């Protein structure tokens, strides 16, 4: 187990450049200190989603590791990455567990923040009903056109909201991996719960999803939807979710950010050493009525459940994502590694995954 480092840094010379985020949410009207003072705030607001790529958060929550930080952690849970980023831009969040795709868009559009740790590699799963899977098996990339000719319509793919990591991965898969136009498919973006229902009931031909949805579909005897391709086959090293604090928190309270990264690495190590117990924790946070412990234990052993901490492992493909965002006109800025990442916090951890 990693020993928590006790780094104490001088504030960055760039402190105060907080872009759209304004200042620390926990220091604005919550009884905290002035964001520029460098003293710890009374509270911090965390934004996250109840999906498997946020597994480190589930472990941290259930282990009570935030209790030793000092500031109270106030949680806001969102139905997708894009609405989380909107909240970040409004100044109501201090740090986030967010998909890399909306996280990049946030940075490119002026939400001053940094990726300080990674959560997961290759989390995306392509699922399809038996009919579309048959088209895919028989025709490969030509499946879309053959489907349209036979059915008189485009295949319908459901995924998380536009700009989410599964949505962007779907678009990347179609245009970059398959060399097709987005015109070959109808894409419908939905919240995680709506996406699961749409896929399970056959109201889409296929979809782009993250765990635990693929496992829930496989475990559902009434669902015809099954995985047919994993991200590791399409985009090895695909980045998933990340720990992304505001620049104000990085600049004014680097010791606190260091503790967040230390705890994150501890959580990753716990997942590696106690996968079944971590799965139980995910079920407890998400709710056993939504995600049973048995399904969670299966999902955590999926090819899409590759939990990591080292942000350097996702740099190259994150920059590929940024280039793709530019092609989609969702951002107009060519981000560099230094614009997106601050590796110094992870580097302070004596041992990590």
Q: What domains appear along the chain, each with residue ranges and CATH number?
A: 25-121+238-347 (3.40.190.10), 124-234 (3.40.190.10)
Q: Could you count the other beta carbons within 10 Å of the beta carbon of residue 130?
A: 10
pLDDT in tens, 55-83: 999 999 999 999 989 899 999 999 888 88
Runs of H (alpha helix) within 154-246: 165-172, 192-200, 213-219, 231-234
The rounded percent of the chain whose pLDDT value lies above 90 is 77
Q: Whole-model pTM above 0.95?
A: no
User: Rounded to an integer, what distance in angstroms lies between the CA atom of residue 60 and that of residue 35?
Assistant: 25
Q: Give the mean pLDDT per block of 10 residues along the chain (353 residues).
A: 31 30 43 49 94 96 94 93 90 95 92 97 97 98 98 97 89 94 96 92 96 94 94 94 97 97 98 98 95 96 97 95 84 90 93 48
Determine contact, residues 42/122, Cβ cutoff 8 Å. no
Query: What's the CA dihedral at 331, 337, 339, 342 to 10 degrees?
Result: 140
Supply φ then ψ for residue 230, to 5 degrees: -115, 155
Q: Could you count the other beta carbons within 10 Å of the beta carbon of residue 34?
A: 13
Q: Which pLDDT score is estimated for 26? A: 55
Q: Using alpha carbons only, what angle is made at residue 79 by residues 31 and 281, rounded to the nearest 5 degrees?
A: 80
Residue from 210, 51, 223 nearest 133 by CA: 223
């Amino acid at each position: 187990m990693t020993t928590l480092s006790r780094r104490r840094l001088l504030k960055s010379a760039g402190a105060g450049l907080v872009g759209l985020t304004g200042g620390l949410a926990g220091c604005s009207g919550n009884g905290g200190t002035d964001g520029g003072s460098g003293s710890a705030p009374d509270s911090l607001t965390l934004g996250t989603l109840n999906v498997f790529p946020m597994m480190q958060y589930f472990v941290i929550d259930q282990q009570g590791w935030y209790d030793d930080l000092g500031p109270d952690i106030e949680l806001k849970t969102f139905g997708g990455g894009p609405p989380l980023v909107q909240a970040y831009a409004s100044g109501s969040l201090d740090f986030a567990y967010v998909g890399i795709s909306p996280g990049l868009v946030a940075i490119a559009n002026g939400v001053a923040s940094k990726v300080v740790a990674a959560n997961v590699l290759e989390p995306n799963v392509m699922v399809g009903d038996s009919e579309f899977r048959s088209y895919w098996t028989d025709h490969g990339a030509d499946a879309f056109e053959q489907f349209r000719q036979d059915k008189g319509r485009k295949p319908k793919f459901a995924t998380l909201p536009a700009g989410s990591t599964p949505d962007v991965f779907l678009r990347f898969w179609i245009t970059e991996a398959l060399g097709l136009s987005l015109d070959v498919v109808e894409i419908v973006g939905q919240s995680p719960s709506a996406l699961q229902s749409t896929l399970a009931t056959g109201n889409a031909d296929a979809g782009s999803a993250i765990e635990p949805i693929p496992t829930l579909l496989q475990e559902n005897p009434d669902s015809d939807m099954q995985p047919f391709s994993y991200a590791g086959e399409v985009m090895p090293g695909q980045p998933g979710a990340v720990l992304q604090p505001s620049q104000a928190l990085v600049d004014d309270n680097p010791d606190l950010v260091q503790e967040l990264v230390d705890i994150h690495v501890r959580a990753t190590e716990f997942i590696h050493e106690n996968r079944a117990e971590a799965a139980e924790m995910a079920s407890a946070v998400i709710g056993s009525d939504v995600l049973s412990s048995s399904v969670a234990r299966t999902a955590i052993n999926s090819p899409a459940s590759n939990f990591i901490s080292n942000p350097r492992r996702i740099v190259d493909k994150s920059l590929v994502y940024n280039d793709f965002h530019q092609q989609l006109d969702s951002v107009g800025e060519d981000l560099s590694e230094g614009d997106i990442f601050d590796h110094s916090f992870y580097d302070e951890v004596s041992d990590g995954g």
